């Protein structure tokens, strides 16, 4: 069909086809650029969401660690208090023995000097 057309008409059809092809390519490039832009925006959103989730998880872990540390510190304080009370009780039990020993040592020292 093209061979029966006059030469200027064939050139016009080729130019029209090339213009249409260029328009299709331009639209495809614009579409590609828009998709890339949307994908980048979505990736930014996903990164922001992931960071927020990571921050929240880190905050929860920190809170949990602080609670564990506080519980352990309270337990250590209780153990220390119990040990202190036991030492006080033991000292009270041995107080009269210590006084008697000190008095005996003093008396022996006085007798040694006389």
pLDDT for res 8? 81
Q: What is the pLDDT of residue 66?
A: 98
Domain, as residue range, for 34:
2-113
Domain count, the chain: 1
Please, what is the average pLDDT of the chain? 92
Q: What is the pLDDT of residue 111?
A: 86
Give tens-digit pLDDT for 37-65: 999 999 999 999 999 999 999 999 999 99
Check pLDDT > 70 for residue 75: yes
Q: How confident is the model at residue 10, as a pLDDT? A: 83
- pLDDT at residue number 109: 86
pLDDT at 3: 58
User: Cα–Cα distances in Å, from 12 out to 1, 25, 109?
Assistant: 15, 20, 134
Helix, strand, or coil here: 5? coil
* Predicted TM-score of the model (pTM): 0.51
The DSSP secondary-structure symbol of 114 reads: -
Apex CA 58: angle with CA 57 and CA 62, to 5°?
120
């Amino acid at each position: 069909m093209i061979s029966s057309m006059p030469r200027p008409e064939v050139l016009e059809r080729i130019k029209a086809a090339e213009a249409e092809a260029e328009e299709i390519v331009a639209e495809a490039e614009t579409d590609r650029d828009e998709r890339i832009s949307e994908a980048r925006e979505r990736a930014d959103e996903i990164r922001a969401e992931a960071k927020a989730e990571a921050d929240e998880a880190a905050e929860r872990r920190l809170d949990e660690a602080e609670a564990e540390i506080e519980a352990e510190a309270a337990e250590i304080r209780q153990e220390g208090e119990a040990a202190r009370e036991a030492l006080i009780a033991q000292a009270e039990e041995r107080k009269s023995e210590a006084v008697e020993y000190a008095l005996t040592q003093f008396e022996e020292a006085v007798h040694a000097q006389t």
